[in-house]
Amino acid sequence: MAVANAVEWTRRHLIGLEDLSREEIELVLDTAPQFLAVQQRESGIKKVPLLQGRLVVNLFLEPSTRTRVSFELAAKRLSADTLTFTSANSSAVKGESLHDTLANIEAMHSDIVIIRSGFAGAAAILARRHRSHIINAGDGAHEHPTQALLDAFTIRQHVRARRDDPEATLDGLRVAIIGDIANSRVARSNIWGLTKLGAHVTVCGPRTMMPPHIERMGVEVTSDLREALVGADVVYALRIQLERQATGAFPSLREYIRLFRVDNDSLKVAPRHALIMHPGPINRDIELAADVADGPRSVILEQVSNGVAVRMAVMHLLANSASVAPEGPL
């Protein structure tokens, strides 16, 4: 299997898209289609031996369905050995520190460790002290880089198909991200990634869910859903973290739905070609109407399918690129 450009990748870890250049993001997006083809093989084995003999460890200290399963499947399709730890079945519940947990995993010769944690900065801290390749699978409200990479990949696929141009880029594309921006690592990684790729990003939500100075990230800010949706090529709804309702981030669910739900009514002002996206899990009929989530413009399950190929590309680039130092700090 020929994998183009792998020698150009120089990073040992993937912590966030804030760190990456446009060229590095595009290298991941350009590497992923080869892995998509592996997944889509109708006959033969949906596997390549690129991580054969390597150990990939999923260390998930927060709940996850999509990301955990996707990384595990991606590692298996690269022929790696895989182990998955969750907070419930690890000694973290007995008070073991994250460093000690990882030191013990590394004593069993892990090559790649994928970490999800509720603490912003957890992946970066581990990357400074440990020798495995660290991939951030979501750290607090900080970043979720592989989610944003698979989102950009999915958007780019559709832009290229709609324009019938296999080289089309995201330059000038209009993306509206709707919801709880302040608490969203998905929003943050998407803002870094999409703006670097040349898209115009508008964030929309209640003022209480908008981080201060968010416009410094190069986005437009509004609390008017229709203003955000006019001209949007992509409408990206975020999960409302219902657990935060008690903290007063929004007055009532009914009020949130009335003002911010993406549904067929609010979408009347959006272009007919607008893609509907969501990272999952969805609160149906709260941030996103169920019929829109399941409708013809929705690419939500394509995001999930593409996630496996994008994560295969990330792991391959980190572990197999000739320009990555064999061991070293962030």
Enumerate binding residues for ligand CP (CB under 6 A).
Answer: 64-67, 138, 144, 147, 279-281
Residue 144 or 156 having the CB closest to ligand CP? 144
CB atoms within 10 A of CB 248: 8
Three-state SS at 112 = strand
Residue 16 or 279 having the CB closest to ligand CP? 279
Q: Using alpha carbons, list the distances in angstroms from residue 224 to 130, 221, 267, 272.
A: 45, 9, 13, 20
Tell me the closest approach of the beta carbon of residue 168 to ligand CP, in angstroms. Answer: 26
For residue 208, the 8-state DSSP code is G
Looking at 108-184, list the stretches that DSSP marks H as alpha helix, in order from N- to C-terminal side: 122-129, 145-163
Residue 43 main-chain phi, psi, to 5 deg: -125, 155
Tell me the closest approach of the beta carbon of residue 196 to ligand CP, in angstroms. Answer: 20
Tell me the closest approach of the beta carbon of residue 231 to ligand CP, in angstroms. Answer: 26
Tell me the closest approach of the beta carbon of residue 144 to ligand CP, in angstroms. Answer: 6
The first and second tokens of residue 313, run together, are 């590309």
For residue 191, the 8-state DSSP code is H
Residue 187 or 203 having the CB closest to ligand CP? 187
The distance in angstroms from the start CA to the end CA of the chain is 30
Residue 186 or 274 having the CB closest to ligand CP? 186
For residue 240, the 8-state DSSP code is P
Q: Is 79 left (phi over 0), alpha (psi -120 to 50) or beta?
A: left
CB atoms within 10 A of CB 242: 11
Residue 189 or 321 having the CB closest to ligand CP? 189
Counting Cα atoms < 13 Å in the Cβ hemisphere of 203 gives: 30
Tell me the closest approach of the beta carbon of residue 70 to ligand CP, in angstroms. Answer: 8
Q: Residue 243: what residue type?
A: E
Residue 138 or 205 having the CB closest to ligand CP? 138
Residue 148 or 270 having the CB closest to ligand CP? 148
Tell me the closest approach of the beta carbon of residue 239 to ligand CP, in angstroms. Answer: 8
Tell me the closest approach of the beta carbon of residue 73 to ligand CP, in angstroms. Answer: 13
The first and second tokens of residue 10, run together, are 């120089």
